[in-house]
Structure 1
Amino acid sequence: MAASAEAAVRSELPQVYGGHLNKRCDSTNKSPMQSCEIEFLTIIRPPLHTSPLPPNQSATPMRFITVILLALSIAAPSFATEDTSQTKTGAAMVKAASTLVAALSPAEKAKIVLAYDDPRRTDWHNIPKPERKGLPLRDMSNELKDLTQELLKVSLSASGYEKATRIMSLENNLFEDEKKLKTAPLRDPQRYFLSIFGTPSSKGTWGFSFEGHHLSLNFVVSDGAVVSDTPSFWGANPTIVRTYITGGPEVGVRTLKDEEELGFKLVKSLDEKQKQVAIRADKSPAEYRAGGSPQPPLTPPEGIAASELNKEQSEILWDLIKAYNSHLTDDVAAGNIEEIRQANFGRVHFGWWGATEPGIGHYYRVQGPTFVLEFVNYQDGVEGTKANHIHSVWRSLKGDFAIPIKGGN
């Protein structure tokens, strides 16, 4: 978050304790490596020095499992299906959300289920806000946490679900870094909120939001098909973990690795003439644009057009775009990619601001006729690490939240 915004938040908050993620295994299996998964929705909150594992388990096998899961998550994105209708995921979302709503108590329903036209539907942000719409994981029963987990699992790819849980687990690292500051109450992996707008059904339109610090997921389903998945925000602090904190990722784990490395790969592949067009400034902006705004900025694209790239450079740009869709299910990702192709990939622009080496502030923007994505790594991370705090966002130039932009694409 921007320094001024964070300072404002800090001044308003009391002190609370930290927490960590619980990793759950099938106890009937002799080998914990055979049936284990990260379970962010059964997060527990003992003091940070307490082991997150049951007394009869050692930390080493579980931490090793986490490393395996993380390694799988950073494989190159692929979209195995040619289905671009986005109805397979839409049907799964309808089923999962309907089951969840049916299980709600009146008090839970009053918090989670809101009218589709409720103005809070477009109230989003990546900063650690004191108040958000919906019900947080902390206030959910175990049953409701499981149902929320199922909704997220059918809405995201396996790697996307793992990435989301990892981003949430980094709140433990932030709590440890800020536990003496007033921001401590907001550094909590259970402060992620679920909201459902409208009635989940295969007919009509409804949507849902799952949001907290550094993660904002917003989906709209209409007549059984996913018609919007923006704004989609994914952030990380630290992006590269230097110190292991209970409940957080292993040392060396890097979040949003592909999004950063492919940006560097593309800008470094440009020749001097291309760089004169693509590199917009020597200094990076401190933040992405229009954070929390219901709609993206409608400025002309900047940088070099895809039509001016060679074949290898064009492939890197496609890989970068696909990396931003790798957290989605196959049919939703394929639909987004096909939309970009239909709108003319040659009109997609890539612009770069700031350093072209890690550890110094840098920013890039990719913008086509139908979308804009922004990436910024400018702020220092925990423990004072330089440029180790990523914000990335994907937005629709046709209109976020399935709300058409007046005069837009």
Structure 2
Amino acid sequence: MHRRSLIALAGLSVVSALQAQTVAAARRLLDATPPAQRGDLLQPFTDAARSDWHYTPRRRDGIAWKAMSTAQRDATTALLRTALNEGGLDKVRALMALEIALRQMETFGLSRDPENYAVAIYGEPGGEAWGWRIEGHHLSLHFSLSGDRYVATLPQFFGANPATVPRGLSGGTPAAGFRLLGSEEDLARQWLASLTPAQRTRAVFSTRPFGDLVSGNASHAKALDAVGLPWADMDAGQQAQVLKLIGAFADHLQPELAQARLARVRAALDTVRIGWAGSPKAREPHHFRIQGASFLIEFDNSGGNHIHSVWRDFDGDFGRDVLAEHYRKASGSGHRHGPK
């Protein structure tokens, strides 16, 4: 097992005792699901199935919130709570509510559905390797487990449209001025404002953003061009700002899971670079990315009021690195489960 796998296990092994309720919550959801729906809820634990993800409106694996009974919704919320803190749950709820805002803002808005978010379970809860996800428009959160232990919480996608809720909307939308990803954007701008002119020249690598995330929804994330300002070329205060910014992208998780993810970042801080593209002014098109030897964070607001953000792990997405032995065993036994 290579070094990053060991880091992941060391960081997440402490979660076992605290997160043992995850298996119970997943089984509770299964028990609450009628036989006719179980084929939708239960999906194979294969790399092909798990890595087929997207952040646009489309058909999704699993059972949508709108198709769930009260018992299923309660069980789903209990499952979410094993990975998300209360602020994270509120963030997911607010993201769904933004669909109501889009109903009013768009000429085709009736197609927007705040209950079209699906939960799927991959594999057998409590087994050697299994996982679950919740996904819908602008949301894709993936969790991988071995037994009752979380081994991966990536990939992660959060989007926001509108990025800032305008005035004049009604019907239960978040309040005017609400910004789902406001902390992430504000912290990045504070870092940018702290740079000296020489540092800014290196940090801003393009005068225009890219129209969307450069990494897209790739099944296997790959490192992007090494652009922006290297970690070693920032002072201690700026480095602290970058760590705070990275932490904002994990603050929806239960503390133990957030700490385990950030441990992977801290293990190779000397490889981190952060760069900016587009306008430095608020509500104008911009993009920033943070990249290290093992991970990539992208934040894109190419339209000025429509954000896409993602966190990928080059080896650890879907728990691939930690669960590699499981994949090898499955492949050797004739099952087609392993990464491709």
Same fold (TM over 0.5): yes
- Give runs of aligned pairs for residues 355-370 of structure 1, distance below 5 A: 355-370=279-294
Asked whether the 8 Å contact 2:125–2:147 carries over to 1, the reply is no
Asked whether the 8 Å contact 2:55–2:137 carries over to 1, the reply is yes
Determine which of 84, 88, 91 is the counterpart of 2:20: 91
Report the aligned-residue RMSD. Answer: 1.9
CA distance in 2 between counterparts of 1:245 and 1:189 reads 14
- Give runs of aligned pairs for residues 8-407 of structure 1, distance below 5 A: 85-88=14-17, 90-117=19-46, 119-129=48-58, 131-178=59-106, 180-181=107-108, 184-185=110-111, 187-201=112-126, 203-243=127-167, 244-342=169-267, 344-379=268-303, 387-404=304-321
How far has the Cα of 1:345 moved from its partner? 1.1
Asked whether the 8 Å contact 1:90–1:221 carries over to 2, the reply is no
CA distance in 2 between counterparts of 1:253 and 1:331 reads 28
CA distance in 1 between counterparts of 2:321 and 2:137 reads 27
CA distance in 2 between counterparts of 1:105 and 1:84 reads 34
The percent of aligned pairs where both chains have the same amino acid is 32
CA distance in 2 between counterparts of 1:120 and 1:89 reads 28
CA distance in 2 between counterparts of 1:88 and 1:351 reads 39
| CA displacement, residues 127-169 of structure 1 (integer Å, 9 cap, x when unaligned) | 112x111111111111111111111122101111101100000
How far has the Cα of 1:118 moved from its partner? 6.7
- Report the secondary structure of 2:39's partner residue: helix
How far has the Cα of 1:120 moved from its partner? 2.4
How far has the Cα of 1:93 moved from its partner? 1.7
Asked whether the 8 Å contact 2:26–2:79 carries over to 1, the reply is yes
- Report the secondary structure of 2:226's partner residue: coil
CA distance in 2 between counterparts of 1:340 and 1:121 reads 24
How far has the Cα of 1:91 moved from its partner? 1.6
Q: Structure 1, unaligned stretches of length 5 or more?
A: 1-81, 380-386
How far has the Cα of 1:290 moved from its partner? 3.0
Q: Report the CA distance shift for 1:247/1:109 in structure 2 as closer, same or farther (over 3 A).
A: same
- Report the secondary structure of 1:372's partner residue: strand
CA distance in 2 between counterparts of 1:299 and 1:404 reads 20
Q: Residue 330 of structure 2 corresponds to which residue in structure 1?
A: none
- Report the secondary structure of 1:340's partner residue: helix
* Greater shift in the superposed pair: 99-108 or 210-219: 99-108
CA distance in 1 between counterparts of 2:309 and 2:234 reads 24
| CA displacement, residues 347-381 of structure 1 (integer Å, 9 cap, x when unaligned) | 211011111111211000001112110001112xx
CA distance in 2 between counterparts of 1:358 and 1:216 reads 26
Give the counterpart letter for 1:236 in structure 2. A
| CA displacement, residues 101-131 of structure 1 (integer Å, 9 cap, x when unaligned) | 12221112111011212732211111112x1
Q: Report the CA distance shift for 1:332/1:251 in structure 2 as closer, same or farther (over 3 A).
A: same
Asked whether the 8 Å contact 2:12–2:151 carries over to 1, the reply is no
How far has the Cα of 1:89 moved from its partner? 5.4
TM-score by length of 2: 0.87
Q: Residue 15 of structure 1 corresponds to which residue in structure 2?
A: none
CA distance in 1 between counterparts of 2:14 and 2:210 reads 37
Give the counterpart letter for 1:153 in structure 2. R
Asked whether the 8 Å contact 2:250–2:258 carries over to 1, the reply is yes
How far has the Cα of 1:404 moved from its partner? 4.2
- Report the secondary structure of 2:158's partner residue: strand
CA distance in 2 between counterparts of 1:322 and 1:335 reads 11
Q: Report the CA distance shift for 1:297/1:89 in structure 2 as closer, same or farther (over 3 A).
A: farther
- Report the secondary structure of 1:173's partner residue: helix
Q: Report the CA distance shift for 1:282/1:170 in structure 2 as closer, same or farther (over 3 A).
A: same
CA distance in 2 between counterparts of 1:366 and 1:148 reads 32
| CA displacement, residues 41-90 of structure 1 (integer Å, 9 cap, x when unaligned) | xxxxxxxxxxxxxxxxxxxxxxxxxxxxxxxxxxxxxxxxx987332454
